[in-house]
Structures are given as structure tokens and as C-alpha cells.
Structure 1
Amino acid sequence: MTWRKNIGIFPWHRNQELKLLRSGESFFDELLSLIAKAKLSIHFHVYIFEGDTTGKVLFDALLSAAKRGVEISLVMDGYGSGGFPKTWETTLLENKVELSYFSKFKFAFKYHTGLRMHHKIFIFDNEVAFIGGINISDSYSGFGKSNTWLDYGIKMQGNVVLDLLRICYKVERGILPLTKEQKNTLTYPVGSGTYKARILQNHWLLARFGISRQYRQTIRQAQHEIILIASYFLPSPALKRILKKAAKRGVKIQLILGGISDVKSMKYAANYFYSDLLAAGVEIWEWEASILHAKLAFIDSDWMCIGSYNLNHLSDFGSLECNIEIRDKEFQETSKQQVLSTIKSHSHQVSVVDYQKQSNWFVKLRNYFSYRIISGSLKLLFYFMHEPKKHR
């Protein structure tokens, strides 16, 4: 089998199940159900694991699984999950959960360099998995608060799960070789399914840029339609040129961004691109019902990509990211309608006229300097990051 793991593109598989899930109680109900049903193993990789109501529910579920003998590997990002309660950590370790924090190559008293583990991968008994952009927090579940952030994930079953397991093993083992038992679990079983899909990964230290590559290549090849749903949108000059070229050759482009943001300066920085993209014929929509955290793309009639990857420098070069690329017309169309019916009902289109009316000299300067500051910060974030707690 020829494939390109070295650049972060795993092989195509036919999979038994793909299911698009929206953030909120329904996603977490499915997640909790699989934790409760797990018999052998759970790999739980997440960027943010908060010590809030949602975190407590997931902590209790993982602890219950560990007590009934399920082998659990919990990996959290050392920066994103800096607030994970120490008492929870101690309890999980006492119940034989393999718990670790990702990253940190420290070179000074308060600062370290290293990648962030931004992917969200949950695997149960090596058979069923979730990936997406959803973290463990009340912001995504709706537990304890009403205004849930909009995000999506994919539940999957099939050989793509083994490729996710391969990624998890690499993070968990580091430079150590896989055991014989682990190698055996990565053998693809004979079988076929309905949905054609494959895993993509960005991992700068391993020279893997599969997600970045597939986004750009598919946009270049687009013939009819591009829909990008993006949080923390800060495209590189190259990506902006590719989008403008696509619009120039007649491709309909819809860019759906957040009307509000948890990082105001990021919103201003994204607005810096509006004038140029609107002038090129790109449609820009803003979701206003809550904070938009989704990361999806629909291109033409048969390509879909979803995961943790943001369209900015940090996801290209400073984070471990994981997406799934799907080539299936029926699933793409169903998913697109499901997403757009939700988003368009609570969004407004930004017109050239309205944008020009709102763009006085102060707004233009604010957006420009926000872009410069945020762009520079994202590039520096890989090199300098305050250390929240000791690495384990």
C-alpha cells in the first residue's frame, strides 16, 4: 500500500460509520455513552480539560471506567489544560490511569518552546473514535450555561480509527518504540464500508503538513463551490491569494466566521481581510448566536474536511492537529445542509456597502494593528509560552 504518512496523509479507507455531531448535550451524551460501554481501552487526547461542571462529569466517567479495569491513556496539553484540578489528577493516577501533559522543552525559568497538542482524539476499544474541535468544557457542552459555542465533531468506525490510534501511540510513547502488542493492533483488518475517508495530520517536528497541503490543493482544484467555516481566521498571504484566484475563475466562495469572539483582537485581525476578500467576490457571513469554534470545509460536491485545524499560522507550524478528509457526495451534502441550516439562520452576510460604511480610519487602523500583533504573536507562540505547571 502506498501512502504518505511522512507528510501527514494517511491511506484512504472505506468506513462503516461516519456521523457528524454538533457541540452541546447530544455530543457529550454520545461521548459519555461510549466511555460507559468501553471494555478494554480508552485513548483520550484533548487540548482543554476544564475543572468545571463538564469536566467533573467526564472525570467521574473516566474514573468509573478505570475502576472496572479499562486501560485509559489521558493526554492533555500542558498549556491548554493548565487548570486541570490536582485532586482529580491524583485520583486518576491512583486508579492506574496513564495521565500525562503534552509538550514543553524548557529553556528558561518561566518559558519553554514546543508544539501545542491541539488535536482532540477519543478512541474506545480501538473500534470507535471521535475527532473534531470540541474540548472538555461547559463552553462546548451547555452544562451549566445556555450559550454553547458552535463546534462540530465526527464519530467514526472503520480502519481510520487505527490511523488515529497510530497518532495516539506516537504521542504517548514519544521516542520509545511500539510494543509488539501495539504493533499488532495497527494491522488493518479485511473489510469494507460505505464512506471513503482518510486521516490528515499536521506535526511540524515530524515535517507533516497533511491538513495544510490538502486544504490548499483542494481549493486550487475547486470548480464550483468553496465553503469555509473557520474560527480564529488569519490566513497566510498564500492562502488569501489562492482564495482570490478561485473567486476570479468563477468559484462561489462562502466564508463563515464568528461575529463575536472570545479573543476580540482576533476578531479585529480577521476583519483586516474583509475589504480585499469582498472586493474579490468572496461572500462573508458572520455567526452571531454564540462564539463560533467550528473548523469545517466543503468544496464542490464531494469533499469535506473537519477536525481541530484552524486557518492560521499556529495550526500550520505550532500545533499538533488532526482532521478527517471525506470523499462522499451523499454524506457531504447531508452534512453541508445540516451545518448551513443551523448557521445561516443565525448569521448575517457582510455586504461591501455595509462594510465600507463601518470602516472609518480608526477601524482600519485598529484592524491593521490587530492583524500585525496577532500574526506576530502566533508566530512567537511556538517559541515562547509561559509554563502553567510542571511537566509530567
Structure 2
Amino acid sequence: MTIFRMRFWLPATLMCWGLLGACASLPNVTAMSDKLEPGAVPSVTGVHGAMSDARAKALLSKRWKKASLEQQAQAALEEAATGVPLIAGNKTTLLFDGPQTMAEMLKAITAARSSINLETYIFDQDELGMKFADALIAKRLEGVVVNIMYDSVGTIGVPAEFFTRMRTAGINLLEFNPVNPAKVSGDSWKVNSRDHRKVLIVDGKTAFTGGINISATYAKSSLFRSASKPTDKSQVGWRDTHIKVEGPAVQAFQWLFVRNWATQDKDDLPEADYFPQPVIAGDKVVRVLGSEPGGKFEIYKAYNLAIQESKTSIHITSAYFVPDRQTVDALMAAARRGVDVKIVLPGVSDSGLVFYAGHAFYDELLASGVKIYQLKLAVLHAKTAVIDGNWSTVGSTNIDTRSFLHNSELNVVVLGDAFGTEMERAFQEDLRDSTVITLNDWRHRPWAHRMKEWAARFMNYWL
């Protein structure tokens, strides 16, 4: 078993040993839709604080050109469910695959003047990991405050010396929820709770998030927008998506980082200008959603409400797709009422059990009119969605119980047709490199696959 798979399987393995508590459950999001008020206006904050309802309504009508009263009320419902307001005045940049994302992140690190906060599930000691470590050490030696929070399971195979070198250079490091209970004070050891976020915040002005870890796995590009079509899998990188955010919303990223650091009962963050005066960087209206174990299920609620309230289209790209019953029912209901529901899922995966567990719902989804595609050749690791062309999300959250219940995750919701159009173009690119799964083909799949799906189904909750 590779280190990458070990990182994924360890929490489930410990569960089998009886070290974990009872199963938790996800909230009933369907009941929240009954609170939808046609005249409701979502609250919006900007560089000068909260806007009046009239100003917020005018801004949304301008930036979200197709926004009806119903869509604005949906945004208000999402706020009521998550407790998180919209933030105006941002610039958003979609980043595709590892090379493009890593180049932008390293560029931001090199330009840092005050602080760098990095939160990641995986930080490997490989060529790319060393490049990031060297860049971060260089900035610390220049006097920039550097704080790194890395997950204990995600880095389980990384030599301690890799982190010691950065710590010796003056970088502040925090191992999130150590696998070794001896490293945890009190009775707070909850090994199944993982920090799955991938966040970089530079100077409190620029933030990155998405599905990309610090690993050489992302050294190569996938087939996305590729002029040539390599047939050798070894020459194809993973398909993933990140987003760069500039503007007032970066403060929300920063707050989530500080709060997650504080939950670990470690030393306080060193002094730095983490929250500089925000400035308008663009015209995008966003919602920054962070979820954590034992929290309020903010990302799950937002996802399901968007699916339930969809009118024309639901286009999802999901690396690990092991949905709960409520999500399956919402997708099926949308397809039956005429919504164009398309889901791009892995055709190859780094985790066989998750791959087959996700197949458990294919039959009923296909029968209801949901269209399923499997990405060819490249390993799919992106976690994105665009709904009705104007509600988009990019982040670290998979559509599975583990992400919604047991992980700390972060997703950005971007409202508006302009960003939605970018997301749609990306989705169409993924469709181009995918194979459609028909109901007839699915019902005639090999029996060997069916047996693997049957075995994987027993682990659905923990995947």
C-alpha cells in the first residue's frame, strides 16, 4: 500500500479496531427549504462592513445579472443555514492542475512581506515539497512570519527531519491532531478528525484553496486543455482545481486558519499583521465556508441547498463520491424535475475502496436521469460544482460522509454568471476527456466489479 493510500485508510482502520466513537449523522437540509422567503435579501459585507439591504440587493442585481428575487432568497437561505454572510469586492482566479497552481503559490510566497499561513493535509518531502520548504525558509530568514499547520495522517510517512529543518529556521509548525496520543494533552485525542484543508494565506491579502496538496503528485499537468493527448498514464498528472482569492474575503480565510490553530491547544500564533485593512480587489461576491468535526455542517448545508433549489443545471466534479442518502435523493429529484444533472467522477483512482463504494448509487442515479461520466487516464482529485451557471464552489470537500462529518474543510462559494461561465468551460473540458456511463452498460458490468462494490458498501460511512 502506498503512503498516499495509507494516509486515507488509517482513520478507517482505527475505526475497525474499535478506537472510535459512535456514528454521527448529517442534518436534515430538506426542512430548511421550507423557510425560503421570496423577499429575503442576503447580507453582504464589504471593505466598510455590512451593507444595507437596499445596497446589498442593488449590488447582487448588478454583479449577478440573472439573479431573480428567488435566487437572492436562496442566497439568504444559505446564509441562514450556514451563519456566513456574503463578502463583496473580491478578485477570483481559477487555477487548473498542479503546475499552474504551484507556480502561483510560489510567486505569492516569494512576494510575501509580513506573514505566510499554510494549512495542508499533505506536505511531502519530495522535489516539490523541498521547493516549498526552501521558499518558506527563505522568507522566514527575511523576517516574514511563517506558520504551517499540517495534518498528522496526511504526513504520516514524512520524515520528522523534514519539519525539524523548517522549525530550526524559525518557522512555527503545528501537527494537527497527532496520531500518537502521547502528543495530545488531556482527553482530546480524536484520531478520526482530520484537517483536510489546503489553504495558503499571504500577507492577509491573498488566499488560495482547493484540492491540491504540497506533493510531487502535482508536478505534471493532466489532459486539461492539452493540445496533445498522451496515452502513457505515467506522463499524465492529476486533474485538480484551486482558486486564488484577493480582497476582503481573505480575512475570512485568515480567521478560519487562526481558529483552527487555536483548537489544537498549542502556543499562540506569533505577532504579525494578519488582518490588514481590506481593499476592493475585484467585483466578485463570495462566501467562505469552513466546516469542522462537531460543527454546524456549513459546507454540507450549502451544497445540498444549492442542489435542492437548482432550476436548470447541476454540474459536479468529485474526486471521491460516496454520497449520503439525502444528497442522492436531492440529485435524483433535480433530474426528475428536468434539471440537467451531470457528474464527472474518477475513471481511475488512488483509492480502490472509495472508487467502488461510490458505485453503490450509480444504478438509481442513472435510472432517475442523472448523467454520470468517468474521467479517463488522469486521476481526478478536483472538488468543484457549478449550479444554474451562477452558483459555483471550489474547495477541499469531497462529496462523502468523511468530508462532511469528520474533516476540517474549506470551500469558497462564488456567486455570479462571469465566474460561473469559467466553471462551465472547465466542466466541459472534463466532459471532453471522460466516458459516459449509460444505464444499460452499467447493468451489464462485470460481476467481479459488483462484488468489490458490495464489499465496499459496508464502509460507506467511513470513506
Shorter chain as normaliser: what TM range?
A: 0.7 to 0.9
Q: CA separation in 2, counterparts of 1:221 and 1:337?
A: 22
Map of 2:299 onto structure 1: 211
Q: 1:65 aligns with which of 120, 139, 159?
A: 139
| CA-atom RMSD in angstroms | 2.7
Displacement of 1:265: 1.7
Give a deviation string over 1:109-165, Cα, whole Å, max 9, x none: 99953520000110011101100010011112229x732111100001011100000
Structural mapping, 1:18-57, within 5 Å: 18-57=92-131
Q: CA separation in 1, counterparts of 2:81 and 2:147?
A: 26
Go from structure 1 to structure 2 and tell me whether the alpha carbon gap of 1:24 and 1:193 turns closer, same or farther (over 3 Å shift). Answer: closer
Could you tell me which runs of 5 or more consecutive residues in structure 2 were left unpaired when the two chains were aligned.
1-49, 52-75, 222-233
Structural mapping, 1:1-392, within 5 Å: 1=50, 9-104=83-178, 113-142=191-220, 146-174=235-263, 185-186=274-275, 189=278, 191=280, 193-205=282-294, 207-341=295-429, 343-360=430-447, 362-372=448-458, 374-378=459-463
Aligned partner of residue 223 in structure 1, secondary structure = coil
Q: CA separation in 1, counterparts of 2:393 and 2:434?
A: 22
8 Å Cα contact 2:149/2:261 also seen in 1: yes
Could you tell me which runs of 5 or more consecutive residues in structure 1 were left unpaired when the two chains were aligned.
379-392
Give a deviation string over 1:63-82, Cα, whole Å, max 9, x none: 11111111000110011012
8 Å Cα contact 1:105/1:114 also seen in 2: no
Go from structure 1 to structure 2 and tell me whether the alpha carbon gap of 1:179 and 1:140 turns closer, same or farther (over 3 Å shift). Answer: closer
8 Å Cα contact 2:402/2:461 also seen in 1: no
Q: CA separation in 1, counterparts of 2:113 and 2:79?
A: 30
Paired residues in the alignment total 372
Displacement of 1:195: 0.5
Q: CA separation in 2, counterparts of 1:60 and 1:229?
A: 33
Go from structure 1 to structure 2 and tell me whether the alpha carbon gap of 1:8 and 1:58 turns closer, same or farther (over 3 Å shift). Answer: farther
8 Å Cα contact 1:130/1:154 also seen in 2: yes
Aligned partner of residue 244 in structure 1, secondary structure = helix
Go from structure 1 to structure 2 and tell me whether the alpha carbon gap of 1:113 and 1:346 turns closer, same or farther (over 3 Å shift). Answer: same
Q: CA separation in 1, counterparts of 2:446 and 2:413?
A: 37
8 Å Cα contact 2:315/2:427 also seen in 1: no
Aligned partner of residue 136 in structure 1, secondary structure = coil
The one-letter code sitting in structure 2 at the alignment partner of 1:320 is S
8 Å Cα contact 2:242/2:395 also seen in 1: yes
8 Å Cα contact 1:133/1:307 also seen in 2: yes
Aligned partner of residue 272 in structure 1, secondary structure = helix
Aligned partner of residue 320 in structure 1, secondary structure = strand
Displacement of 1:11: 2.2
Q: CA separation in 1, counterparts of 2:393 and 2:327?
A: 16
8 Å Cα contact 2:95/2:242 also seen in 1: yes
Go from structure 1 to structure 2 and tell me whether the alpha carbon gap of 1:5 and 1:338 turns closer, same or farther (over 3 Å shift). Answer: closer
Q: How many percent of aligned residue pairs carry the same amino acid?
A: 27
8 Å Cα contact 2:114/2:144 also seen in 1: yes
Q: CA separation in 2, counterparts of 1:34 and 1:193?
A: 18
Aligned partner of residue 228 in structure 1, secondary structure = strand
Give a deviation string over 1:246-301, Cα, whole Å, max 9, x none: 11111110011000111112111112211111101100000012110000011002
Q: CA separation in 1, counterparts of 2:177 and 2:169?
A: 24
Task: Give the TM-score normalised by the residue count of structure 1.
Answer: 0.88
Displacement of 1:52: 1.1
Q: CA separation in 1, counterparts of 2:356 and 2:364?
A: 15
Aligned partner of residue 357 in structure 1, secondary structure = coil
Displacement of 1:176: 8.1
